[in-house]
């Protein structure tokens, strides 16, 4: 007879027992006063079952059904104790199978793991939580760990158990809220979810694994167990070199890409390129164009294509749209071997309320706040993370660190930082709750961001952290030890808005907007800025960059070339969204390819040639990038000639003799014999002229260069007399 109480049996078979290891598997017992080893298994699919115990020889012990729902029990001699036994099961259809018993394996989480998790300092939890292929006592299987503190029971379900939550209930690890189970016999590629029964209520939830590294292709939503440790990287030289680089002093010119719409295969039902196809096509293109980095719009798993990945359900999972995790590793590896860094957009500001995702994960507001004034995002109709909860903070920190560690990502661009920092972001009076000091700062989010940046810079030297932060929050890109948030760079949204507004005006009216060209230099060195012309500026009815430009076709292209010329001369690292480099006409949409056919036309090819040459000039001339974030790298020559919409400035490297003169004429009127002060009586070679015929311009210029004479001007001892082409930017360097 079984020593189990009826209550325990009922709890097990009804799915309400929180500790299946207390019942199932091997247990020492007394049978008629004699010690015995009792093995129990819950096998609702079984007609009969046998324990195959390996001692000196394999011995079969029949199992008795002790409950009609499928609870079986076998009594074995207490010694010698068998090694891991197998269960031979005949199901109700007469099919025979054998498997190891999951409940013969002790829990694998150590007390130290549990301590770190509860403390919020388990910074490599991604190596433990989720699903991991393990080999225990010579037996291969998958170890599952999930956090669900308010669940009454959690089970692993999948095709391997016919999605029956009764068959593989997990073991609860006490106050941590973690549940774990090792299931022997499962292999790499197993599809699974967690069946979660919330405590104190009927029904169950089917949830994808928050820590999973792979997922089914939408609209399917199950997680996939994958062993990604076998990939062999070939980017050791890149990674070692990155460790010794200071991102502030090296050229950083970024090509922002949405992988699903950069290029498609229209002959094959307009399909996406795979990660490996992108490695073969996108990486050589980026290299040819002279960019230092490619920035990927989110490749975290997401259910809705039109969210572009910014509403993620898989914070550790590479989206299956373009291939497997190993395929993505191969993409990053190829980029590094080609000398291209890979940045990735990462969105910890909010998450969607899809039923299989983080929302109401264990039947409660586990990852967010229950109060909508804190937990609901009115702009995006999504949920806001509870940054004050240590397990949630640890989840997000692990997500960020895992991309840098597992996938060798060179930096993260953190999306919507402003929405994280302010409790009243997007809210009216009365729709938000002040912090403990009565302010509108989200102090928990501030602490999270600081901790994130400290960890990244500590553990991944040379990696970049970029903030999309649109307010005047002080010190976004300053070190945390000085009171800053610790980002490497901040997007200069003010510069972007000023430039696009300035260039949208007809040149005849620019006389009244000269301040928009110069205002950014008042604060250009308050932060380590990146100048972004991102996807956000070419969607939702805003039109493409070329269509923002005024005038006829020639003037539109000349204006765009002048914008790019000014951008590359202006202090700050550079970023341009795909399609902008060849003046894509249509507004960007995520569901079809860029209009590559436009490159058959001269004006579009000319813009592409210009961007390529600007990238190469920017990279080769230290004056244009080495002192990007200090006044020592910039000097105005003249910004007073608003009547002619002309500005002139110098860019400087650490060596004062390394200088580049940038001369900008933002009207369609050529200026002849225009006098500009310069520091040296030397020949000034024309390095680049955006009006060159190669770029689609009128080919007006200065014949390759001009010699300066000792005629003081603009406070300098010498001066040049230049021809300024219409709607142009010209770069000159003293020989």
**What distance in Å separates the CA atoms of residue 635 and residue 492, rounded to the nearest whole number?**
20
| Helix residue ranges per DSSP H, 207-248 | 236-243
Q: Which residues of the chain have pLDDT under 70?
A: 1-3, 55-56, 80-82
**What distance in Å separates the CA atoms of residue 581 and residue 595, rounded to the nearest whole number?**
12
Please report whether residue 658 resides in a domain: yes
One domain, residues 283 and 405: yes
* CA 191 to chain CA mean position, Å: 24
One domain, residues 362 and 306: yes
**What distance in Å separates the CA atoms of residue 569 and residue 54, rounded to the nearest whole number?**
75
**587 DSSP 8-state letter:** P
Number of domains within the chain? 4
One domain, residues 636 and 535: no
Helix (H) or strand (E) holding 699: none
Active site residues: 415, 468
Environment class of 108 (CB within 10 Å of its CB; exposed 0-12, middle 13-18, buried 19+)? middle
Could you tell me the residue range of the domain that residue 450 belongs to?
A: 247-595
**What distance in Å separates the CA atoms of residue 611 and residue 289, rounded to the nearest whole number?**
7
**What distance in Å separates the CA atoms of residue 42 and residue 169, rounded to the nearest whole number?**
10
One domain, residues 576 and 449: yes
Output the domain CATH number for residue 77: 2.60.40.10
Q: Which of 181, 207, 233 is the last residue of a domain?
A: 207
User: Each residue of 315-347: b (16+ CB within 10 Å) or e?
Assistant: bbbbbbbbbbbbbbbbbbbbbbeeebbbbbbbb
Q: What is the structure's pLDDT at 1?
A: 37
**What distance in Å separates the CA atoms of residue 455 and residue 465, rounded to the nearest whole number?**
11
Please report whether residue 224 resides in a domain: no
**What distance in Å separates the CA atoms of residue 82 and residue 716, rounded to the nearest whole number?**
92
* Number of C-beta neighbours around residue 288 at 10 A: 11
**What distance in Å separates the CA atoms of residue 60 and residue 52, rounded to the nearest whole number?**
5
Please report whether residue 616 resides in a domain: no
Please report whether residue 223 resides in a domain: no
Q: What is the structure's pLDDT at 81?
A: 64
One domain, residues 641 and 717: yes
Please report whether residue 251 resides in a domain: yes
One domain, residues 646 and 589: no
For the chain, the average pLDDT equals 95
Q: What is the structure's pLDDT at 3?
A: 64
Output the domain CATH number for residue 717: 2.60.40.1180
Cβ pair 401, 392 in contact under 8 A: no
Q: Give the chain's count of helices (H) and strands (E).
A: 15, 39
One domain, residues 266 and 397: yes
**294 DSSP 8-state letter:** E
Please report whether residue 609 resides in a domain: no
| Digit-coded pLDDT (tens) for 405-443 | 999 999 999 999 999 999 999 999 999 999 999 999 999
Query: What contacts 285, CB < 8 A, 6 or more positions away?
Result: none
| Digit-coded pLDDT (tens) for 164-188 | 999 999 999 999 999 999 999 999 9
In this prediction the pTM is 0.94
Phi, psi of 54 (to 5 degrees): -100, 100
* Number of C-beta neighbours around residue 59 at 10 A: 14
Please report whether residue 217 resides in a domain: no
Please report whether residue 619 resides in a domain: no
**What distance in Å separates the CA atoms of residue 402 and residue 316, rounded to the nearest whole number?**
7
One domain, residues 437 and 518: yes
One domain, residues 536 and 588: yes
Cβ pair 578, 258 in contact under 8 A: yes
Q: Which two tokens stand for residue 296?
A: 């990927």
One domain, residues 318 and 350: yes
Q: Which of 207, 236, 270 is the last residue of a domain?
A: 207
One domain, residues 28 and 153: no
Helix (H) or strand (E) holding 113: helix 111-119
**483 DSSP 8-state letter:** T
One domain, residues 554 and 581: yes
Output the domain CATH number for residue 264: 3.20.20.80
Q: Which of 207, 236, 258 is the last residue of a domain?
A: 207
Q: Which two tokens stand for residue 25?
A: 């598997």
User: Rg of the chain's alpha carbons, rounded to an integer?
Assistant: 31
Cβ pair 353, 340 in contact under 8 A: no
């Amino acid at each position: 007879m079984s020593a189990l109480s009826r209550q325990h049996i009922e709890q097990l078979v009804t799915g309400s027992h929180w500790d299946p290891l207390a019942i199932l598997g091997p247990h020492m017992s007394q049978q008629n006063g004699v010690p015995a080893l009792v093995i129990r298994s819950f096998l609702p699919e079984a007609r009969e079952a046998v324990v195959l115990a390996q001692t000196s020889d394999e011995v079969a012990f029949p199992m008795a059904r002790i409950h009609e729902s499928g609870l079986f029990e076998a009594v074995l001699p207490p010694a010698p104790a068998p090694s891991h036994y197998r269960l031979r099961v005949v199901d109700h259809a007469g099919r025979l199978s054998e498997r190891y018993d999951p409940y013969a394996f002790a829990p694998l989480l150590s007390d130290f793991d549990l301590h770190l998790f509860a403390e919020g300092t388990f910074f490599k939890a991604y190596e433990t939580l989720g699903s991991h292929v393990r080999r225990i006592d010579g037996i291969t299987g998958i170890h599952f760990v999930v956090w669900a503190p308010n669940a009454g029971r959690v089970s692993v379900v999948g095709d391997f158990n016919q999605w029956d939550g009764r068959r593989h209930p997990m073991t609860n690890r006490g106050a941590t809220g973690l549940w774990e189970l090792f299931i022997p016999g499962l292999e790499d590629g197993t599809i699974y979810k967690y069946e979660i029964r919330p405590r104190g209520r009927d029904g169950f939830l089917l949830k994808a694994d928050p820590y999973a590294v792979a997922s089914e292709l939408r609209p399917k939503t199950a997680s996939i167990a994958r062993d990604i440790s076998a990939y062999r990287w070939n980017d050791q030289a890149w990674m070692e070199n990155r460790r010794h680089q200071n991102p502030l002093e090296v050229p950083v010119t970024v090509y922002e890409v949405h992988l699903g719409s950069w290029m498609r295969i229209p002959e094959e039902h307009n399909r996406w390129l795979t990660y490996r196809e992108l490695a073969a096509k996108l990486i050589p293109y980026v290299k040819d164009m002279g960019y230092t980095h490619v920035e990927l719009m989110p490749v975290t798993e997401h259910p809705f294509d039109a969210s572009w990945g910014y509403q993620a359900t898989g914070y550790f999972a590479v989206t299956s749209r373009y291939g497997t995790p190993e395929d993505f590793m191969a993409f990053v590896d190829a980029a590094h071997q080609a000398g291209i860094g890979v940045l990735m957009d990462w969105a910890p500001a909010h998450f969607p309320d899809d039923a299989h995702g983080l929302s109401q994960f264990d039947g409660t507001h586990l990852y967010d706040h229950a109060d909508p004034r804190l937990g609901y995002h009115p702009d995006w109709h999504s949920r806001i993370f509870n940054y004050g909860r240590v397990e949630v903070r640890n989840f997000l920190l692990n997500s960020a660190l895992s991309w840098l560690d597992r996938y060798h990502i060179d930096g993260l661009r953190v999306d919507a930082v402003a929405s994280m920092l302010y409790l009243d972001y997007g809210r009216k009076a009365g729709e938000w709750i002040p912090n403990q000091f009565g302010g509108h700062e989200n102090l928990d989010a501030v602490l999270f961001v600081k901790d994130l940046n400290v960890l990244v810079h500590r553990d991944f030297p040379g990696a970049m952290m970029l903030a999309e932060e649109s307010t005047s929050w002080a010190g976004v890109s300053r070190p945390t030890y000085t009171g800053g948030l610790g980002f490497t760079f901040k997007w200069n949204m003010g510069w972007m808005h000023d430039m696009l507004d300035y260039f949208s005006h007809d040149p005849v009216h620019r006389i009244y907007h000269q301040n928009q060209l110069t205002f950014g230099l008042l604060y250009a060195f308050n932060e380590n800025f990146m100048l972004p012309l991102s996807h956000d500026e070419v969607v939702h009815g805003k039109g493409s960059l070329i269509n923002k430009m005024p005038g006829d076709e020639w003037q539109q292209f000349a204006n765009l070339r002048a914008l790019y010329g000014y951008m590359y001369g202006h202090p700050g690292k550079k970023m341009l969204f795909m399609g902008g480099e060849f003046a894509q006409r249509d507004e960007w949409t995520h569901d079809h390819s860029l209009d590559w056919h436009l490159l058959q036309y001269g004006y579009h090819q000319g813009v592409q040639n210009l961007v390529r040459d600007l990238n190469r000039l920017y990279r080769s001339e230290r004056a244009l990038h080495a002192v990007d974030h200090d006044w020592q790298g910039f000097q105005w020559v003249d910004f007073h000639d608003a009547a002619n919409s002309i500005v002139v400035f110098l860019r400087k490297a650490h060596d004062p003799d390394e200088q580049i003169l940038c001369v900008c004429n933002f009207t369609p009127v050529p200026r002849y014999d225009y006098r500009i002060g310069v520091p040296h009586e030397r020949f000034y070679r024309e390095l680049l002229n955006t009006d060159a015929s190669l770029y689609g311009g009128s080919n007006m210029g200065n014949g390759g260069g001009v010699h300066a004479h000792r005629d003081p001007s603009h406070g300098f001892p010498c001066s040049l007399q230049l021809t300024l082409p219409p709607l142009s930017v010209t770069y000159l360097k003293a020989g």
